[in-house]
Structure formats: C-alpha cells, structure tokens
Structure 1
C-alpha cells in the first residue's frame, strides 16, 4: 500500500508543472495557471478577479499557458498584504517575482483597466523579459482622456474626496456618492468608475486602487517599454457617444512609446470589453498573440 501511495504522489508531481517548480506564495496576488503553450499573464481591473476574463479563457487555454492573476482583496479574497501601502507598484513587483520564480519565457501581458496600468509597469521594469503587452480599456493616465493638459496635482483633491467616500460607504459609494463623476467625465468616467462594483472587494483596496487609477501618471515610463503595445478599447460608431472619439485621445496618451501602439477598437463594447463583446474581444486577443 505504501509503495502504491508513493507511486501516485510521484505521478501527480510529474503531471503538475506548478508542483514541480514549487507553489508561488504571495500576500499581494493569487495566480491560477491553465493550459499549455506560450505564457500569457492576464491581470483584471479594479474590483475584479480572474473570472472577469470570461469565456475567452476557455478558448485561449487550448494553445497558451494562462496565468490568471487576482489581486488580493478583490471579490471574496482576503486583502492580506494589500491592507497597507500602495497597490499598483507592489502588485507589479509581485508579478515580476512570479515571472522569475516560475521561469516564464518572455510572457505576453494582458491587463484590463487598472490591470492595464499594472501591465505597463511590469513591461517597463522587465523590458526584454516581456514579449508583448495588451491594455484593455486602460490608459497610462486616465484624466488625459478628458484633458491632455491635466496633471496628477490637479486631480489629487478630487481623488482624495472619492477615497474618503469609498472608505466611509464602501461599494454603496459607487452609486450614491460618486456615481455623478462618471457621467460628468463621459467615456473616461466610464473607464475609471465602470469597473468598480463588478465583483466588489474590501473597501480599503477599492479606495486605494481608485485613488491610484485617478492620480498615477505612467506616460513618461512608456519610454522604458521595449515590447510592442496593443490598445483594445470599447468603441461606438455613434458620434454622440463619447467613445467614438477615443482613438485620438489614446494615440495622444501613448505618444511616448518607442514604437507606436496598435489600436483595436471593439465596436459595441463599453468598459467591460470582455463581457460586452466577448467574440470580438477574443478575436482581438488572438490577433495580438499571433502578431
């Protein structure tokens, strides 16, 4: 019996690459691995877990090894180390540590909303260690999608008010306290506020995360990215819809890249591109990974 048990354990170890390499432990992120093939890391947006990628995961894991990141504190996960300090910087560092410990071979990065900003940070720090980057309805500095002259210093007082509202009221602040900001900001407001409340989370990380999404300016860091960047975003043919004008704003926001970004408008999608237009989103991701 003991020999049979040892044989079963040995077979399980050989069948599981994650076990063979050693389980990754982090008080900032959780990573689930699916499929086989070239490595792709997917980073969801504010208030979302790895399940936000929806049906695209079930199609991609046939040909790629997917590393599905969840930031601790989003959804039903315990906040752990994200209870204190910043979010985007420490999470980006943990993703790079994961890449190193798991010996990933120049993974592709896909990040939605705040996850897109995190992906840009990882790419700027890892440089040649990343093969390509897709940001989904994300920008290096969200306020620039309203006014290219905006600065973090100008936005900071508003961000502080929203931070306090979230700390006081939690998810209810998304509608009762700060819902009006989204309408005033048009498409950019939808991008900043639209992801909140999708799966919710601990109010401490929601407040800190939204504060960073509003105030972090990564435009100068774009010069450090060597990997090609694709920008996918919700788009509308309706000229009365603010999303019909997003491409020009995105082009301005990503001007500092060494190589011009490739743009993938997803017609009919709003901020939650993956669920709004799952087939069109999947097609865009497949083009991105094949490029």
Structure 2
C-alpha cells in the first residue's frame, strides 16, 4: 500500500516522538482570535470566508503561498492547532485532538458570525473538515480535503475496524512517547523526506514537527488511527472535493491510489476528486501552482 507518503500522511507523528475581523477588513490587516484554547486563528484579506486547517504537527505557515494568492479576493482564517508547531499545548484528559479542534472551529464560526465558510483541511485538518461537514452541516458551504482519508488505518489494512486498529495505534503512541530525542530527530528527518518532495520545504516542516508537543502529537496519532468517519460521510450535504497527490516514486499504479480514495469516500454525496501529480503528501508545497489552481477552481461560485 502507499507507504511512501500516505502512511506518513497520518503525520510526521509516526516518527516523532482578539477581536473578530469585519467583512470589510483591509487585505493587509491581520488579527488573532483564541477559541477555547484549542486553536488560534490569524485572519488575512477581505471577501468570502475561507478557513484553512493544517495537518498533524504542522504550522499554519504551510498555507503561506496559497494565502498570498487568495487574500486579495477572500477573507482567510488560518488555524493553528494547540500543541503543534510551537503553539502552547492544552490539557487533554480525553486524549482527543481532531474532534475537539472541530468543535472549537464550529464555535469560532458561530462566535465570529461567519456565514457558512468554505473549509480547506490538509491531513489531520482534512479529518477535522469532515467532522465539521458531518456534525455541523449548516455551518459550512463546501469542503476541500487535501490528501486525507476518513479512516487512516485503511492504508495498512483495507479490512480494518476501529477495534482491530486500537492495539496497533496504542503501540505507535507508546513508541512515540518513549523515543529518545536523538532518535526522534533522525527518524523525523527521514519522515519529512517522504512527506515533502520539495527539499526547500523540508526545514520548516521539520522545525514545526520538532516544535510540536509530543503528548499532543501522540494523542492525535492514536485518534487518527482509531477514528473511522465513513459512517458519518452520508451526513455531509455540501459539495466535497478530495485533492490527492501522486508520484511515480510511490511504486504503484495511479489507478490503485485513485481506487483507495474513491472506495474510502464511497458514501459521500456530492463528491469529486482531483489528482495532483509529481507531489508527495504536502501538495501545497510540492506543487504550489497546481494546488492554487485547484483551490481557485473549487472556490468559484
């Protein structure tokens, strides 16, 4: 199975250890809002609202190129998840990260009086976007899911269930927490090379991953491996576009990768798929122009 990048797409974790903005806010202005300590949000630009959610152990800076292209036409809400990329961690007695992040974003949409924003999520952020679409269908207009699946353990076992995934997820989590710092960094560098084809993008990704809180990353990894959103996909009533990467270095036919995504999302209404070639998991960094074109087309009325 697509172990070169999509197993790593669960995140680099496997090897790791203000005031609301107005609708007329100038494009050059930015502000930050904290929602229940789970997220911080930086707002840029003016126009229809778009929320951008990064992935596991990632910084909102992964959207920097896209934001520069869009902020003259859209008001962008760039989310940073607590505990990732140097953002302060929060108390997490229940051990979940993605689900409470989705609730924090839903709360942010309500309190900031956003009218059905578009949601774009990468990796873990894609799972958060699916949760928003399924659990808060009246709060979103459209969803773009970037190189993410509704149940990540399918990459290792197409017949997996939450119950069969739990022991393996626990082992991953425990290994993550027990890894010595030197081993963690060495393995992280190797993982980044599988996640981003662009060598220029790798140092920032590595810094974000190493700057992430280990417990938060471990908890999020376990949650991703044991959360199966497929039973909820039928509740999503807005258009969904799944953007996924492909590169010949995967060593498997592109048709197999396409089948993995289409099968996983089989019960999702109003869905379409977009493949971006010559890219690993961080599509927005490996193929910024192609990704920006896909987003621009997706945002058109």
**1:225 and 2:236 matched:** yes
Question: Which of 143, 153, 169 is matched with 1:159 structurally?
Answer: 169
- Structure number with greater Rg is 1
Does 1:283 find its partner at 2:266? no
Show the counterpart of 1:252: 263
Question: Contact 2:51 / 2:117 at 8 angstroms: preserved in 1?
Answer: yes
Q: 2-side partners of 1:130 and 1:13: how far apart?
A: 19
Distance in 1 between the 2:118 and 2:34 partners? 19
Note if 1:199 corresponds to 2:224: no
The alpha-carbon deviation at position 105 of structure 1 amounts to: 1.0
Equivalent of 2:78 in 65, 68, 72: 68
Out of 127, 130, 133, the residue aligned to residue 140 of structure 2 is: 130
Conservation of the 8 A alpha-carbon contact between 2:41 and 2:78? yes
Shift in Å, 1:85: 3.1
**CA separation in 1, counterparts of 2:240 and 2:22?**
37
Partner of 2:9: none
- Larger helix fraction of residues: 1
**Higher RCO (Cα < 8 Å, 6 or more apart):** 2
Please list every run of 5 or more consecutive structure 1 residues that lacks an aligned counterpart in the other structure: 1-11, 188-193
Assess, with a 3 A threshold, how the Cα gap between structure 1 residues 242 and 203 changes in structure 2: closer, same or farther.
Answer: farther
The 1-side partners of 2:33 and 2:185 are apart by 40
Give the drift of 1:33.
Answer: 0.5
Structure 2 gaps, min length 5: 1-20, 196-201
The separation in 1 between residues aligned to 2:275 and 2:23, in whole angstroms, is: 43
The two structures have a TM-score, normalised by structure 1, of 0.82
Which residue of 160, 163, 173 corresponds with 1:150?
160
Give secondary structure in 2 for the equivalent of 1:163: helix
Contact between 1:28 and 1:90, CA under 8 Å: does it hold in 2? Answer: yes
**Matching of residues 17-166 of structure 1 within 5 Å:** 23-82=33-92, 85-166=95-176
Instruction: Give the paired residue count.
Output: 269
Q: Is the 8 A contact 2:106 2:132 kept in 1?
A: yes
Equivalents in 2 of 1:285, 1:170: separation in Å? Answer: 40
* Counterpart Cα distance in 2 of 1:118 and 1:258: 18
Q: Corresponding residue for 2:3? A: none
The answer on 1:168 being equivalent to 2:181 is no
